[in-house]
Amino acid sequence: MSLPGARDKLFPMTTLPAPRPKSRMGCLTQLLLVFLVCGALAIGFFALVSPWSFYMGGRFHPIPYWQGSGRIHSNSGGGDYALYVWFWPDSGRLRGLVYVTGNARLCTPRGEKFNLTFGGNFDKPAGVDLNGQRVGFYMHNQSAARRVLGKDLRPELELRGKWSNPDMVLDDNGSIARNFGADGKLFESVARRPYMGEVSPVTLHEGKGDFDAACAAASQNSHH
């Protein structure tokens, strides 16, 4: 017969330390460090293979990125179109020409808005100076639904011209008139449309500019 408490003395209970709660701040710090390291590696890579990308527009900026906006007036296309583009070097293109990739937004005179995939190239600069270099860009609808349904990716726009720091002086190579009617509405099909119609000039000024205001104005006018 055992005495009360004898078992506890022979086999004392061991109290395990409570697990420490994971520090949210520690996880966030680690994620931030990973992000900063990846960003530094990416910037270092661009500095090595595309140093010109830090001087787009004629001045140094620490991130290899450029944005610009402007208006395209087309009589054949029904009025003024607001365009905003932003792009960076295409790291997968290590060939002779200078390639870029990015996105764009287009607002029509009807107030319709299109999100576009942006890409293109320009002549390889001597050093980092892009001023006067010829450029060629293309844009097309980035709608995933249109891709799934196998539809074309209109509007498909083109821009041709050159850098004139800090801006780009371009024209649309007839692409607004090819994609939009005199009412500013996107054509159902361009199969019978002439490839080259009215060519409309456009200057993309560095920065976003009045793009949002131009879109809002076009949307209000379309409802009157």
pLDDT tens, per residue, the chain with 224 residues: 455 555 555 555 555 555 555 555 567 676 666 555 554 555 655 556 688 889 999 999 898 999 999 999 999 888 999 999 999 998 655 555 688 999 999 999 999 999 999 999 988 776 788 999 999 999 999 765 555 555 667 899 999 999 999 999 999 999 999 999 999 999 876 666 667 789 999 999 999 988 888 888 776 665 55
**CA nearest to 222, candidates 139, 140, 113, 141:** 113
Q: Please, are residues 62 and 42 in contact by the beta-carbon 8 Å criterion? A: no
Domains, the chain, in order of start with CATH, read 53-222 (2.40.128)
Structure tokens at 211: 């793009």
What pTM, to 2 d.p., does this model score? 0.75
Phi-psi region at 209: left, alpha or beta (left = phi > 0; alpha = psi -120 to 50): left
Cα 135 versus chain centre, distance: 17
Residue 78 corresponds to which tokens in the numbers above? 């029904």
pLDDT of residue 17: 59
- How far apart, in whole angstroms, are the C-alpha atoms of residue 100 and residue 149? 28
Q: What is the pLDDT of residue 151?
A: 63
Encode burial over 114-147: b for 16+ CB neighbours within 10 A, e otherwise.
bebebbbbbbebeeeebeebebbbbbbbebeeee
In this prediction, residue 120 carries a pLDDT of 93
The pLDDT value recorded for residue 217 is 79
